[in-house]
Chains A and B, each alone.
Chain A
Amino acid sequence: MTAATPARTLPPLGGFSPTVVGLELRRMLRNRRTVIFMFVMPAVLLLLFANNAKYRSTSVGGGNITGYVMVSMAVYGAMLATTSGGAMVSVERAAGWSRQLRLTPLRPAAYIAVKLVLAMTTGLVSVIVAFAVGGAIGAQLPLHAWIECGLLAWVCALVFAAFGLFMGYLLPSENVMQILGPVLGVLSFAGGLFVPVDQLGHVFATIARFTPVYGVGEIARYPLVHDGSLWLGVLNVVAWTSVFATGAVWRFRRDTARV
């Protein structure tokens, strides 16, 4: 056997490859519940909230309220998608798949990279779906805001990829998204994605500014409204990203340590 065995080498990039991302993406999209959660729900909410003449005719910044709600829903969708992507690790740990992967050359960092690429890919699709639906029901934004709001909603959703990873390592549950779904709903509400926080009363509005969704919403809508405290939003996103990333790294180290 030894004679016929090819030279043994390690795969490039620690095992990260487009083939792996492709297979993982296919598997993720196979889960109907995940697809509905990531792509359909934000679109349905957008239709429910913003598909009316009053919103279409009321202007905000350079666009209309339908456009404003659309950006919020894009943030919401991207958040659901990236959280789901990160939280996949919990299912894989529960199934013993993570342990199986340790019998391959896959580097832990490459595994995380696959999950992040996956989360960001589905996050992007979610933003595009929200924008397509928004465009169909008469959302209006200045051209630069379509692009900037979309990109910002997408990029800032990275904080939730870290959140998903952290929770995925923290909660060894088979159905981690059933726990995280309601949590994200509450956070989105507090973060002003469904109702502007100013309408919730002074005390609540003050608290809301410190919750993790608030910053992403503020930043993503900024190109449209040019209003609100951008630096506070940035501070919020940076702080929460560090918290979740630190948590994820901490749990990840514990998980992959050879005991």
Chain B
Amino acid sequence: MSRRGRDERTTDVRPGFTTIEYMILTADAGSAARHSEHLAVDLDRLVKRFGAVTAVNGVSLQIRPGEVVALLGPNGAGKTSTIDILLGLSTPTGGQARVYGRPPHEAVALGLVSAVMQTGGLLKDYTIEETVRLTATLFGRGADAADEALERAGIADIRSRFVGKCSGGQQQRLRFAMALVPDPELLILDEPTTGMDVGGRHDFWSAIREDARSGRTVIFATHYLEEADAYADRVVFIRRGEVVADGTAAEVKALASGRTVRATLRGADEAALRGLPGVDSVDVRGDTVVVQARDADAVARHLLTRTDARDLEITARNLEQAFLALTGDDATDNGSNR
């Protein structure tokens, strides 16, 4: 994914997003600073390299207790690498990760954080109940903790079924039950609904949503935009190991609701364009001007009547396109997702 020599900031090659993104990030940092108690997650310039490949490239992220956050990005964007560090499964090459003020492996051992991983992690010759009981025992908790987790994950009725005989959705609920055993403050879900059918996905999210009412902090990585949109208070876009946008679901929608006006114009007056109503950002590159605006018509009218602009085009942007623009180099980058 990551290329060599990508250390130069890439802000200027992403027209139309820099301004908004900057605003959101600033607003966020401000509210995080107000928090006096421990942050649920505090990533400080996190870097993870595997040989020549940089999987995580300086991610700083603060997540407050109680937030439900979606990590959105294509395969290889660095989501899983970031999660592995949060869970103490791997150590960062640079920077620091803290979970409730502690090193991740400590937070894991104390049951402050637990996770529902994508695949694997189950033994097929255990029953559902045995798997959860074993987990409870390892956390120094009794059978009542196991029973409660089974109930909350909605698999108490199939407790004596062998794991090998469970459907993908049931196995995922089992992973969820195991994650609930220590009653964690932070629950991490790494693409939890991969491979589930629509019904299974809906049921799974209903269980998660029900659980999140208790005030648990939830971070989930996903490819599915609708999941991020429906279940997250906050969406963090990750691309090539970097956070490229971070905001509430509403802010992300606002980001997506604008239109892009592009035209060929020699010697564009950037300040004048910026002064137009509803303009979010202006980017002039040589003879091309790209304006991101909520009122695209006004911009087009201005360009065509007051300037020598030609080859004008207006493109609408839906969430999908915003996602592609933010997280992918091009369409093929995202097309590689299963």
Q: List the B side residues contacting A102 at CB < 8 Å.
A: 88-89, 108
| Choice from A97, A106, A259 contacting B122 with Cβ under 8 Å | A97
Q: List the A side residues contacting B215 at CB < 8 Å.
A: 1
Contact B89 A20 (CB under 8 A): no
The residue in chain A whose Cβ has the minimal distance to the Cβ of B105 is A258
Q: In the complex the two chains form, what is the Cα distance from A164 to B126 in whole Å?
A: 22
Q: A258-B88, A259-B90, A259-B91 are in contact. Are A97 and B121 (CB under 8 A)?
A: yes
Q: Does B87 contact A (CB under 8 A)?
A: yes
On chain A, the number of residues with a Cβ less than 8 Å from chain B's Cβ atoms is 33
Q: A92-B123, A259-B90 are in contact. Are A10 and B140 (CB under 8 A)?
A: yes
Contact A99 B120 (CB under 8 A): yes
Could you give, for residues 10-32 of chain A, a 1 whenever the CB lies within 8 Å of some chain B CB and a 0 otherwise?
11100101011001001100110
Q: In the complex the two chains form, what is the Cα distance from A30 to B183 in whole Å?
A: 31
Q: A12-B140, A104-B138 are in contact. Are A258 and B91 (CB under 8 A)?
A: yes
- How many Å from the CB of A174 to the closest CB on chain B? 11
Q: Taking chain B's interface residues, is the majority helix, strand, or loop, or is none over half, making it mixed? A: loop
Q: Does A5 contact B (CB under 8 A)?
A: yes
- How many Å from the CB of A163 to the closest CB on chain B? 23
Contact A15 B185 (CB under 8 A): no
Q: Taking chain A's interface residues, is the majority helix, strand, or loop, or is none over half, making it mixed? A: loop
Q: Does B112 contact A (CB under 8 A)?
A: yes
- How many Å from the CB of A253 to the closest CB on chain B? 15
Q: A9-B140, A11-B138, A259-B90 are in contact. Are A27 and B130 (CB under 8 A)?
A: yes
Could you give, for residues 73-104 of chain B, a 1 whenever the CB lies within 8 Å of some chain A CB and a 0 otherwise?
00000000000000111110000000000000
Could you give, for residues 26-47 of chain A, a 1 whenever the CB lies within 8 Å of some chain B CB and a 0 otherwise?
1100110000000000000000
- How many Å from the CB of B120 to the closest CB on chain A? 3
Q: Does B308 contact A (CB under 8 A)?
A: no
- How many Å from the CB of B122 to the closest CB on chain A? 7
Contact A104 B124 (CB under 8 A): no
Could you give, for residues 3-39 of chain B, a 1 whenever the CB lies within 8 Å of some chain A CB and a 0 otherwise?
0000000000000000000000000000000000000
Q: In the complex the two chains form, what is the Cα distance from A91 to B110 in whole Å?
A: 27
Q: In the complex the two chains form, what is the Cα distance from A95 to B178 in whole Å?
A: 16
Contact B183 A96 (CB under 8 A): no
Would you give 28 A-B contacts (Cβ < 8 Å), ordered by A? Answer: A1-B216, A2-B185, A5-B185, A8-B111, A8-B112, A11-B137, A11-B140, A15-B137, A15-B140, A19-B133, A19-B134, A20-B138, A23-B133, A26-B130, A27-B126, A96-B117, A96-B120, A96-B122, A97-B120, A97-B121, A99-B120, A100-B120, A102-B88, A102-B89, A104-B109, A104-B135, A105-B108, A258-B91
Q: A8-B111, A15-B140, A97-B122 are in contact. List 10 more A-B contacts (CB 8 A).
A: A10-B140, A11-B139, A11-B140, A19-B137, A27-B130, A96-B122, A99-B120, A102-B108, A103-B108, A105-B109
